[in-house]
């Protein structure tokens, strides 16, 4: 009987020694790193205002881009950084087509530079934080960086001269959405 107790005692002792050795070896060989630098959170000034003038007045008949540029007043808007903010801004200009539009959007042309004309080609999904009502689809028509104190844009819109008489009585209703976000990666300095 004593022999049996001795075997059990030795077995338990050997098991404890093996487990302790394995635990110490694992702890010694485990990689652990400690942070040596403090975490730094920076804030920056972000304040952009927007002003616009004229309405998007699309004359109700098809025309060439030359006629559109000479006969139409553009929709003009200006983005301005306020309060000497140094945070650069990315902007996106969306054209939101409203639900009661029944004119084929492929007939609409637009330009920001009075030289090149563009077509509404691929609808996009607006960022989730933008609430919209009565919007059928949205198009990204311009984007860029506001790195200076202000930026003015002039938008010309017209019906393509290739449209035929089937468009008579149809409507094109849209709204412009200018969306700004701070660009912390290219800011000149934080405040």
Is 140 part of any domain? yes
Q: How far is it, in rounded angstroms, from Cα 115 to Cα 86?
A: 32
Q: Give kind and range of the element (H or E) at residue 3.
A: helix 2-29
pLDDT at residue 174, as a whole number = 87
CATH number at residue 168: 2.60.40
Is 73 part of any domain? yes
Q: Which of 152, 148, 157 is nearest to 178 (CA)?
A: 152
CA of residue 33 relative to chain centroid, distance: 36
What is the total count of domains within the chain? Answer: 1
Q: Which two tokens stand for residue 60?
A: 């109700």
Is 172 part of any domain? yes
Is 86 part of any domain? yes
Is 159 part of any domain? yes
pLDDT at residue 190, as a whole number = 42
Is 123 part of any domain? yes
Is 116 part of any domain? yes
pLDDT at residue 139, as a whole number = 94
Is 170 part of any domain? yes
Q: Output the CA angle 86-141-60, nearest 5 degrees.
A: 130
Structural domain harbouring 179: 48-186
pLDDT at residue 1, as a whole number = 63
Tokens 């506001």 locate to 146
Give this prediction's pTM: 0.68
Q: Which of 132, 151, 145 is nearest to 94 (CA)?
A: 132
Q: How far is it, in rounded angstroms, from Cα 66 to Cα 141?
A: 20
Mean pLDDT, each 10-residue run in order, the chain (191 residues): 83 92 82 74 65 64 86 81 72 90 90 88 88 89 83 88 88 86 61 41
């Amino acid at each position: 009987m004593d022999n049996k107790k001795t075997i059990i005692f030795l077995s338990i002792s050997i098991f404890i020694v093996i487990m302790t050795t394995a635990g110490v070896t694992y702890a010694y060989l485990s990689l652990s790193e400690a942070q040596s630098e403090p975490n730094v959170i920076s804030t920056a000034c972000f304040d952009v205002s927007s002003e616009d003038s004229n309405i998007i007045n699309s004359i109700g008949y098809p025309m060439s881009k030359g006629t559109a540029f000479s006969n139409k007043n553009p929709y003009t808007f200006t983005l301005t950084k306020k309060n000497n903010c140094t945070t650069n801004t990315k902007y996106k200009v969306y054209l939101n087509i409203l639900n009661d539009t029944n004119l084929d959007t492929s007939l609409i042309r637009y330009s920001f530079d009075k030289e090149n004309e563009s077509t509404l080609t691929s609808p996009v999904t607006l960022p989730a934080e933008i609430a919209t009502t009565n919007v059928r689809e949205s198009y990204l028509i311009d984007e860029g960086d506001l790195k200076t104190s202000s930026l003015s844009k002039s938008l010309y819109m017209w019906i393509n001269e290739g449209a035929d008489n089937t468009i008579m009585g149809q409507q094109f209703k849209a709204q412009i959405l200018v969306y700004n976000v701070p660009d912390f990666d290219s800011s000149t300095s934080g405040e």
